[in-house]
């Protein structure tokens, strides 16, 4: 399992946990953006920007979802791109 895949799985578990928790009985959702890298040459600024772009893609896609830096963040260098993944957002939630 790749780092971005593992990261998206953790993010998806967190997303589901928040949705199911219903703190104070209120439907609460989160959107998450994930990026990953390894090795001495990792540029954390690029990874942070990739995760931030993926987060905004999740918000654009209807919120309450996980997006991985990749196809939805074409402005980033190739080393920061992975395939987009994540569940579809829940229908009927406010944008």
Backbone angles phi and psi of 83, in degrees to 5:
-60, 145
CATH topology of domain 3-80: Alpha-Beta Plaits (3.30.70)
pLDDT, position 68: 92
Question: How many Å from the N-terminal Cα to the C-terminal Cα in the chain?
Answer: 32
Question: Do residues 29 and 91 touch, judged by C-beta distance below 8 A?
Answer: no
Q: How many whole angstroms separate alpha carbon 59 and alpha carbon 62? A: 6
pLDDT digit string, tens, across residues 52-74: 999 999 999 989 999 999 744 44
pLDDT < 70 regions, the chain: 1-3, 71-95
Nearest CA to 83 out of 93, 72, 75, 94 is that of 72
Q: How many whole angstroms separate alpha carbon 35 and alpha carbon 26? A: 30
């Amino acid at each position: 399992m790749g780092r971005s895949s593992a990261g998206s799985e953790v993010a998806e578990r967190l997303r589901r946990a928040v949705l199911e928790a219903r703190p104070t009985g209120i439907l609460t959702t989160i959107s998450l953006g994930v990026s990953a890298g390894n090795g001495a040459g990792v540029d954390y600024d690029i990874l942070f920007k990739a995760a931030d772009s993926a987060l905004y893609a999740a918000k654009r896609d209807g919120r309450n979802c996980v997006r991985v830096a990749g196809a939805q963040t074409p402005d980033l260098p190739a080393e920061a791109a992975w395939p987009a993944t994540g569940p579809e957002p829940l229908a009927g939630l406010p944008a």
